Each structure stands twice: as structure tokens, then as C-alpha cells.
Structure 1
């Protein structure tokens, strides 16, 4: 008998009528022959109401007691849902996180799942009951109630689907599926039938509001197809499958996203030597702060700048942690930049179709939008822009890549479900072993590219069109740029670092120098560098990944010249002569989590 997990968010259970509608959906699935687990969020704005009540009682509520309070919202929902199913003639049982043995760490407010006990759930399913599971919550080793933070119910649902071996995890929400971008900002946004786990991981981390990145991490790790559907009573839109397949292999870009509320910090005048990045990241990790974009360009006069972004909500804690680290490493100052937004394009096709960054930079420049910082990966290009230009920047790149037009060849929902089912033929013992540490860090591997050279452009005017001009000139000569990092500007100037194949360094340096000369900039080249990358699901959301990398390199006496990050990869540029030693040190640092 097949098993499905259905998750209903707060807007889908906001009142009695919607609860009964969700109950009918679950009963219909059971009547069609499936065992059903429902994961339910708190009703409507109930969580906000509870947070407000806590604020009225106490200025600074203890984190443990906030978890105790907030978990009650889901308990109300699951009990009401079970009552509705009973009233409609079905059999159901409601279970809290503790009753499902969802074991987490003790990070109140953003706990991570360690394991889930499936025996009780399976017993109820085998008895013909629909299991109504409280989302968003678990218990730690001391039996304290914990909550999973943003997107916690999505995380609960996909985690249960992984543990139970579900055919799919259906996420019912108030939208029709996953769109090429936010339709509230760009009316021409188009619903996709399929999007890959890898693409959705990047899109979710970039602010696409349909799913939280942690739930996509589970889907990727355990090959769970996630079916996003509209919970409306009168809609039968097929939705979108987040699974192994991209919508189309023919397109370089599948979607665009905007993270509206980013704050930027720069540690200026950092000694350009081993260990300084480590001190900064250790301080941020100790404060449990996830860094979003982090860029470090090669230093001048033995000094470098390290810039990074965090969400606005994390800014006060991040600023305090950064100032502490800056004092330790002897940095000149810590600067807080103007409010920014991050616009990004994502697509599996970028790995085989060059020119995406160049097109994006030119489109933004033509719209008069200045780029404050750049990071890239194989399937993503991200640019920081002024916050007031963020929404226009998203519309510009969506139009540039014609995402409103369906691709010529499209993978269907059935194709993605079939591919996921085929991929599930795996070693059952290995899957069970991995489930014991569900949200623990797992690294796919450490990779080394020793074919690269590094160009650094300093004192480049921080204005629209500069990045586009640089990369158009290089692309015109057929040179493939791998890593691109543009630092956050200061005093109207910025620094751009890029890696190109070693065989192309002489021609690339000449081209870039001609451009830089027109603006009074300067270019330096290092013909032999290596790009060291650590790849794995959740490397950005696990705050200790960067710390491990930089501790390993610092211990080996290796300096970092350039940093680039994405949701699934952290890359650093180092001197080519240290490549083998750096790889060995990094593999040893991650030996316990590789595989």
C-alpha cells in the first residue's frame, strides 16, 4: 500500500471550513488506497497572536518558554483536524512532536531534527487511521519541547516522508505551485511543472516563499519528491513537483528570486594572512548566525576586506560578533553598509551554457541598476543591489531570460515522480543509517580545481555597467569565467576578482587591463591558483562549515585569497602551490561527515 504525507499550512487550516476541506482531501486519498499522514500548522495567524501575547507579558521571554507556548498552536490544529475526520466518518489520531519521538537538539526556536521514531506512526496507519502530526515541534534529550523555526512544518512533513518511505510529500498552500519568480512582484511569472531539488534549494534560500530550504534539504538527501499544490476547494491545478528533474535541460536559467531584507557588514583592513577568516566565522558561528553572501577579495598592501550579508533580523547579533572578531584579528574597522536586496538567477543549465552572468550584468546596467557585490556558483549568480531597486532588478532579470515563456521541451510531473521512484531503489540499510542523524551535516566531498588563474581588479568605479563591460569583453574572446566575486564598494570604488583557465590568463589580463586603464583601476594576475570546494546539502545553513574549512587551512598555514558561497558549496581560492596540502587538510577536517 502506498503512503503519502500531506502538509497543510496555516492559511489552509485558518478556520473550521478550511479544516473540514483539508480533512476531505485526506479521506479521499485514503479511500483511493493510500495510507495518509497529515502534517498541520497552527491556524492562520495563531503563532503571531501567541508571540504578541508573550510580548505583552514579558519584554524578553525565555527561549524555552517561547517554544512551550508556540507549540500549542499546532496542538489545537491537529486535535480539530482529527475531530473533523471523525465527523466525516473516518478514523484519525492526533500526535504531538513528542508522541512521534521527533528528537532534536536544544537550540530553542531553530532546533534541528536528529531522529524520528516511526513505530507508533506505522501502528496507527496499519490500524486504518489517518495520522495527524503536529508540525514545527519536537523534544530534546531532556524532554524539553523545541520548535524548528521558519518553515518548521514543511521540515516536519518532508522529514516524516523520508522516515516513512512515502511515495510523495504533498505541500498544500495558497498558491498553485512554484513559479519562475514571485508573481506578486512580476505578474508575468509562470508556474513550473517541475523544478529540481538543487534549483529549489538555491531558490528557497534566496527568498522564494513557497518552501523553506531546510525542507528541501531533506527532499534532496532522501530523494523525497515534494508536490506543491493549492489547497483551495475549487481548484484542481496539478501544482509543481520538486524532485530529481529540472523543468527543461535546454535552458540555462530556470528561475529568479529576491531576498528583500539583507544587511551588509564589511570587516576592512584585515591582515591578509592565514587564520583571519577563521576568527570571523568562528565568532559568527558561536552566535548561531548563518551568513548569506560572503566575499573576500585578494588583499592589497597585505590587507584585505571581508564582506558578508545576513538577514536584517540577525544584524544586531552579527554586528556584535563581528566587532569582537575584528578586535581579535587587528582589523581596521567594521562598516555597516546601506540596506540591500539580493537578486539571483538559478538553473542547472548554467553548468553547460556560459554567458549567464554577462547577460545578467548587462540587463541590470541597462536598467541603471548598480551591482554592489557578486557571487557565483555552477547553478547560481547573485548580485546585491540597493534595496529600493530590488524589485525592479528581479523584473529585469526575469525578462532578460524570458522566463515567462515555456521552454520547448518540458519534463512533466509524471516524469519527475517516475525518476524519483526509480532512484529509490537503494540500499535500505544505508538509508536507515542516514536517518538516524537527519539534519546532521553530510558532505558529498571536497574538490580541487588546479587549472585556474586569478585576475584581481582594484579601484574599479562602483557604478552600473562596469561588471557587464568586463565580462562582455572576456566572453567575446570565448574565455570561460569560473568564479566571480565583487566586493562591497567603499568611497565609490570596488574590487572584482575572477578566475579563468590558466591557458587564457595572458589574453584575459590584457583585455581587463585595457578596461581598467580607462577608469584608473589596476589589474594584478596570479597565473597559478587552485579552487578548493566543499559541496553538500545544507553547507550554508550549518554555521560550522566555513569554520571547519578555514580552521583546516589556517592550521596548514594556507592563506585564502577569494571566497565564494552558495547554498550547496563553499569555494575558496588559494595559491596553486598549496593545492595538494589544502585538499588533504580539508578532507581530514570533514572526514567524519563525508559520504
Structure 2
């Protein structure tokens, strides 16, 4: 008999009436022939209230005791849900995370799942019970209660679906699916019928709040279809699986993170190991970085810019300022009034001009771009925070995301896409381990650099319009704020287009008073593709440290949820590929 995992969030079990409504959905699924596991969150704002209460007692409470406290919210919910199902004439049994057999590491308040023992769950299902599972929590090997952090109940649900080989995982929430952007900010946002794992991962880390990235990492890793649906209606919702809604449109969605801060380390000596020193120390203090941009060095020194969540800025600055002094950088500056706006879509990999379209739309509104970073399926820009919502609405309109795209092709089976669940499980020591699908080398590209660009709206759009007019395909783009308020931009093109790209940029640079374009006719681009690159925050630092150990200098960096790209000189590409494959051998599936 097929297993169905359902998850009900806090707003879906906020009171007795809503708990009874959720219970009816679980019973209906069982009557349809499924064995049902229902994961529930704490009621309403219970977790927030418990955190507030704890801080009234101790402003900095011990993490272990916070887990003891916060786990009680879900224990209340599972008991009440089981009671509701009993009242409606059916059998249910509730389990805490420990009783479910969810084993985690010992990182309190942010634990990762190592394994799930499913024997007790399967026995209860075989006996005809609806299993009510506490989300958000687990237990260590020493029987300490842990919680999984933000989005933990989503993670519990998808992890259980993976461990039980469920047919699907239904996420019931207060919205009726995944939208092209936040409908609270953009009223014309449209509900998508389906979205791919990679697109959902990128949107989740770009600011879309409907699903947490760790749960989607699980879904992709173990090929679990996830169906996001409304708790309060029978709308069809959104299916998250391998296939996108459509590949014929370049962009499927847009998102914004409104509270980011940018840190720039100025004048970093251009030698191996300096980027590694910065990001290793941030990682050691569990400070997650988001956008990372390193541009081509000038005069033997480079600037490295990156973003962090605003609340982590003070801690990040302490680390970075100390490291900058040690490595001989010229200084550190920051801006805490910035926001990140991103567009995401599998279709952009095959359609030229997507970046120029986005930049032009922002330029038409007079919105200045402070940083740019791109991957194969995402373009992110940093803008001033007070223009962020306008920027989000602008790019949503520019890509006509309110309109239904052409119907998608039939979904391929996971095995046809090279996903092998048993092979992955056999390689993992813990269910949330980092999985690297491939490490690739591209030796066909050249790099063009524009420096001393005036920091004003519209210039990025003009650059790429001129490049596009010569039918030059642009791959990787990074832009950072340089010295004295000037910007620096680098982008890669096919080696056969290198001279044409320089020629396209020369009149532009002369017109705006920038330095003449420079570049390298041959570079090597290394791409690490995987699942969990952002949540495993040491991937970037391991990459930089490994390359530095082999005296391989990194000239450009761009990051996304599923890919880390670095550019080195052309003669170092094969050596870089070898040492990165050695560094990530345990996590790499394509060996």
C-alpha cells in the first residue's frame, strides 16, 4: 500500500477547529487507500511565544535548554491531532521525534538529520493507524532532544517521505501553492502548477518563504515529489519535482531578501589563500554568506564582496576586520541598507539576453545595481533596500510572470535523469550530508573586465545590450563596487568572441569615462554542482583553501544554491579540477 506524508504548518493547526479540519484531510487520504503519516508543527505562534518567554528568563539561553523548551510545542499539536482523529472515529497514534527514530547530530537549535529508523512507524501503519509525527525535532545518540531550525517541520516531513519511500509529500500551508513571487508584495503574482527542485532551491534561498531550502534538498536528493497545497481549500496547489512548469520561458519566478548587508574587503593581495582565510573563519563561526563576488585583480590587489543576513553583520565584521589586517588587505567597508533581488529559471540557460533584459528593466526605473552574480539558472542583483520592492515588481513585470507559460512537456522518470536513490543512500553517512553531483571544467571561455565604471543606474544594461547586438553569448557575470565609488564588472564569453567583446565595450568605456576594457583570452571555469552547497557553509572555504594549497589563484567567484563557480587562469584549469575532485571525493557521486 502506498504511503502518503502530509505536513500541516502552525497556521493550519492554530486552533481546535483547524485541527479537526486537518484531521479530516488525513482521514480522507486514508479512505483513498493510502497509509498516512501526518507531520504537524506547533500551534500558531507557539514557538515565538516560547522564545519570548525564554528570553524573559535569560537573554542568552543555553541552546540545549532551548531545544527542550521549543520541542514541547509540537508535542502538544501531535496529541491534539491524534485526539481529533479518534473523535472522528478513526485510529491514530502520536510520536515525538525521538519515538519516530529521527537521529540527529548534536548541533542544538540547528541539528541535521543523520538517520531515521522506520520500524515503529511501519508497524503502526500496518496496524491501520494514522501516524501523527512531531515536526521540527529529533534526538541525538545520547538521547538529548534537538530541533532542526527554521523550516524544521518541512524538513521532517520530506525526510520521513524519503525514509519511508512515500509516493508523495503534501505540504499544507496558508497559501495555495508556490507563486511566481510573494503575492503580498506583488499582487499580480501567479500560482505555478509545478516547479523543478533546482528552481525551488534557488527561490527558497533567494527569499521565497513558502518552503525551506533544507526540505527541498531532501526532496531532490531522494526524488520525493512535494505537493504544496492550501489547508483551507481544495485548490490543486504546486508540484515540486524534477520538471519545471515550462522550459520555453527563461524565468519562472522572482524573489527578494530585504534585509541583507554587504561587506567588501578592499585591496586583498592577489595571491592564493586570502579568500580561503576570510571564508574559513566565517564558516568556523557558523556565519553563512550569500552572494560572493570576487573580481579580477588590478595592480596586484583584488576586492572581495559578499553579503550576509543583516542580523549577522556585527559578528561578521569582527571576523573580517581581523582577517583583513592579517592578510594585508587595505581595509573593510560595509553597507547595511541593501537587499537582494533574484530571478530564477531553468529556461535561461538556453535563452540569450536574459541578464540584459533584467538590467534594462531596472535601468528604466532608475534603480542602481550595486552587485551582480549569476549562475546557469539564477541572476541576482543587490540594490538599495528602499528600492527593493519596486525592483521586485519591475523584474516580475519585465518577464511577464503573471502570464501562464506554454504547457510543459511530460515529466521524465527520475532514473532517466540520472538520479539513483539507492546509490545516493549508500554513499551517505547522514541523510543531510552534502551531495556533489559533479565537478566540471570549462576551458572554452575568455574573460572581459571593465573597471572604474561610474556607479549609476543603467550602465550594466548598456554594456550587455552592446554585447548582445554583436550576438555574443555571455556566461558568467560578476559586478562589485570598486574603489572611490566606482564599479568593476567582469564577464566570460566564448574564446572565439573575445576580441569582438572587447571591441563592443571600448566605445562604451570611452563614453562613460571608464578605463579601457581588459581581459584574458583564455580562462578556466570550474563548477561544483550539488545539493546543499548553501546549507553546508564550508563548501566555499574548502574550495578556496584547496586551490590555495596548490598555489592556484581564484580570479572570479559566483555562487548559487546548487552551483559554485570559480574562474582561474587558463593554464591552471586541469590542475584545479584534479585537486577539487580529490577534496570532495567522499561527497562526489560521479566518481
Whole-Å separation in 2 of the counterparts to 1:312 and 1:57: 26
- After TM superposition, give the deviation of residue 421 of structure 1 in Å: 7.4
- More deviation in 444-453 or 431-440? 431-440
What's the counterpart of residue 45 of structure 1?
Answer: 45
Tell me the distance in 2 between the aligned counterparts of 1:93 and 1:425.
38
* 1:165-564 correspondence runs (5 A): 165-232=165-232, 235-410=233-408, 419=412, 429-430=422-423, 432-434=425-427, 436-522=429-515, 523-564=517-558
With over 3 angstroms needed to count, the CA separation of the structure-2 counterparts of 1:489 and 1:8, relative to structure 1, is: farther
Alignment deviations for residues 149-191 of structure 1 (CA, whole Å, 9 cap, x no partner) = 1101000100100110011100000001011111111111111
- State yes or no: 1:588 paired with 2:586: no
Q: 1:422 to 1:276 in 2, by over 3 A?
A: closer
Tell me how far apart the structure 2 counterparts of residues 355 and 397 of structure 1 sit (CA, whole Å): 14
Deviation at 1:424, TM superposition (A): 10
Is the 1:193–1:240 contact (alpha carbons within 8 Å) kept by the matching residues of 2? yes
For 1:62 and 1:333, locate their aligned partners in 2 and report how far apart those are by CA, in whole Å.
Answer: 35
Cα RMSD between the aligned structures? 1.5
Scaled by the length of structure 1, the TM-score of the pair is 0.97
Structure-2 change in CA distance of 1:436 and 1:397 (3 Å): same
Q: Gaps spanning 5+ residues in structure 1: where?
A: none
Give the distance between the partners of 1:529 and 1:507, measured in 2 at CA: 17
Could you tell me how far apart the structure 1 residues matched to 2:292 and 2:73 are? 36
Which shifted more, 432-441 or 146-155?
Answer: 432-441
Contact kept, 8 Å, 1:225 with 1:420, in 2: the verdict is no
Bigger mean CA deviation after superposition, 326-335 or 283-292: 326-335
Kindly state the Cα deviation for residue 432 of structure 1 after the two structures are TM-superposed.
4.2
Give the paired residue count.
588
Give yes or no for contact 1:243–1:420 (8 Å, CA) kept in 2: no
Alpha-carbon distance between aligned partners in 2 of 1:172 and 1:500, rounded to the nearest angstrom: 44
Q: Summarize the Cα distance change of 1:428–1:46 in structure 2 as closer, same or farther, 3 Å threshold.
A: closer
1:572 aligned residue (562, 566, 570) = 566
Q: What's 2:10 paired with?
A: 10
SS at match of 2:526: strand
SS at match of 2:578: helix
**Deviation sequence 1:104-123 (CA, Å, 0-9, x none):** 11221111111111111111
Three-state SS of the structure 1 residue aligned to 2:481 is coil
| Residue 328 of structure 1: how far off its partner (Å) | 2.3
Deviation at 1:313, TM superposition (A): 2.3
1:92-131 paired onto structure 2 within 5 Å? 92-131=92-131
Cα drift, residue 520 of structure 1: 1.9
Return structure 1 stretches of 4+ with deviation > 4 angstroms: 419-429
Residue 211 to residue 505, structure 1, CA distance change in 2 (3 Å): same
CA distance in 1, matches of 2:265, 2:79: 51
Contact 2:11 2:44 in 1 (8 A): yes
| Deviation string, structure 1 residues 193-221 (Cα, Å, up to 9, x no partner) | 11111110100111111100111111111
Q: How far did residue 68 of structure 1 move? A: 1.0
Give the superposition deviation at 1:327.
2.4
Contact map agreement 1:270 1:332 (CA 8 A) in 2: yes
* 1:297-323 deviation per Cα after TM superposition (whole angstroms, max 9, x unaligned): 011111111110011122222222212
